[in-house]
């Protein structure tokens, strides 16, 4: 039976350690969350697990489902959809819209731009009907995906986050996790769709008058490296935003929710993200390829395998400090063979006094094949006598 194995392997103390104190920050946003994806460090959390209506931030899940189907080859960007009269009647003037017209056949690529950049409620429902036949069936896919991603405090009742008497709810922590999954699982599609500053739909694409709308993302053009994700607003939810930016190899994901104005959302989003980059700094832990330790292997041609840093690993610490840190290798083991070089099989847990732990992935140093016949016999005998 596999068990959680933890071994203290690193003493990361510096020559003149200083105390690490969380840099001060406050925000009028009733809900806020900031995570450094490069280190796994949660830099700020304010009521991050309270269930809230997401408004249009729910559209991130609609987009994730589509991205996942594209990755699997079950959906193509060039596939076309139908704008049904019933869908147009309900959504052509209900909240944010892409201004789709009855009889149009937009491509999946057009609809994704209409969702991400324009926040089109109509685009969400047309895409949902294209993928699953009905919006209700598509919502089932959204909730299945949420479960796979471990969004334990989220539930979806619509494809676009329109108020639905409380059936749709999320948390700031779950929204950040969804943003992280989008960025890491679908990097090319994320890059293609999430950083457009505007999008035009209409006459130039063969129907009606051309209409250009801007992206409401408050970070684009105001914070270096900003490239997503999604705003949201309803009377019920207030003004919210889930955003991300990358600077010098550090990627942060932030969430604010419940703000009372469009301008307030923009101001707080910029201030929050800038604080994350300025008040915190990376502390090198291990260079790419550095051997971190060994893990036990079950049923393999070798009884153990080394684990190495898959990239330059850094912890996140308050700027201007040099705190004492320790590292602990943690994995569910013994790890069953076969194992491929580069496979994520363990984590390096970095602990700093006065701060939350940080989790950094480590990977197998080499391939480990399944044990041959004679080794299996030997392993069986040693297991029996043990």
Tell me the per-residue pLDDT of 347-368, one tens digit each, with 9 for 90 and over: 999 988 878 889 999 999 999 9
The band of 8, judged by pLDDT with boundaries at 50, 70 and 90, is low
- Rounded to the nearest 5 degrees, what angle is found at the Cα of 41, between the Cα atoms of 35 and 47? 55
Residues that are catalytic: 56, 59, 119
Whether 54 contacts 240, CB under 8 Å: yes
Of 160, 241, 185, 198, the C-alpha closest to 67 is: 185
Mean of the pLDDT values across residues 20-26?
A: 84
- For residue 262, give Cα distances in angstroms to 147, 202, 344: 32, 27, 42
Each residue's pLDDT tens digit, 200-235:
997 544 555 789 999 999 999 999 999 999 999 999
Mean of the pLDDT values across residues 157-169?
A: 97
- On average, the pLDDT of the chain sits at 91
Residue 355 is predicted with a pLDDT of 83
> How many residues would you count in the chain?
386
Of 91, 74, 211, 249, the C-alpha closest to 160 is: 91
- For residue 371, give Cα distances in angstroms to 1, 297, 365: 18, 10, 18
The answer to whether residue 194 scores a pLDDT higher than 50 is yes
The band of 286, judged by pLDDT with boundaries at 50, 70 and 90, is very high
Residue 333 is predicted with a pLDDT of 78
> Whole-structure pTM over 0.85, yes or no?
yes
Which structure tokens are listed for 307?
């684990």
The answer to whether residue 323 scores a pLDDT higher than 70 is yes
Each residue's pLDDT tens digit, 38-64:
999 999 999 999 999 999 999 999 999
């Amino acid at each position: 039976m596999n068990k959680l194995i933890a071994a203290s392997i690193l003493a990361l103390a510096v020559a003149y350690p200083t105390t690490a104190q969380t840099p001060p920050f406050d925000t009028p946003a009733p809900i806020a969350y900031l995570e450094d994806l490069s280190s796994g460090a949660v830099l700020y959390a304010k009521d991050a697990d309270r269930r809230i209506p997401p408004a249009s931030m729910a559209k991130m899940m609609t987009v994730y489902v589509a991205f996942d189907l594209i990755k699997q080859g079950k959906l193509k960007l060039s596939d076309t959809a139908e704008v049904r009269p019933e869908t147009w009647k309900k959504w052509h003037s209900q909240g944010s819209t892409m201004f789709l017209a009855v009889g149009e056949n937009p491509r999946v690529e057009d609809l994704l731009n209409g969702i991400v950049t324009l926040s089109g409620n109509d685009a969400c429902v047309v895409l949902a009907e294209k993928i699953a036949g009905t919006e209700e069936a598509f919502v089932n896919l959204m909730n299945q995906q949420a479960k796979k991603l471990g969004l334990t405090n989220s539930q979806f009742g619509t494809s676009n986050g329109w108020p639905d008497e409380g059936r749709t709810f999320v948390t700031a922590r779950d929204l950040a996790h969804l943003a992280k999954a989008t960025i890491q699982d679908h990097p090319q599609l994320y890059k293609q769709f999430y950083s457009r500053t505007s999008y035009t739909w209409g006459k130039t694409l063969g129907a009606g008058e051309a209409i250009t709308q801007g992206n409401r993302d408050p970070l684009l053009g105001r914070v270096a490296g900003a490239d997503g994700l999604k705003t949201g607003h309803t009377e019920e939810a207030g003004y919210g935003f889930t955003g991300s930016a990358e600077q010098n190899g550090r990627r942060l994901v932030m969430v604010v929710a419940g703000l009372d104005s469009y301008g307030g959302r923009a101001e707080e989003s910029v201030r929050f993200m800038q604080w994350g980059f300025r008040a915190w700094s990376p502390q090198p832990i291990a260079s790419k390829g550095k051997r971190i330790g060994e893990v036990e292997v079950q049923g393999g041609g070798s009884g153990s395998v080394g684990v190495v840093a898959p990239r330059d690993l850094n912890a996140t610490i308050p700027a201007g400090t040099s705190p004492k840190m320790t590292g602990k290798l943690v994995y569910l083991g013994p790890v069953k063979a076969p194992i491929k070089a580069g496979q994520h099989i363990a984590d390096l847990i970095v602990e700093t006094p006065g701060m939350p732990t940080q989790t950094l992935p480590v990977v197998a140093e080499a391939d480990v094949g399944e044990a041959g016949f004679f080794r299996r016999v030997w392993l069986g005998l040693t297991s029996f006598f043990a």
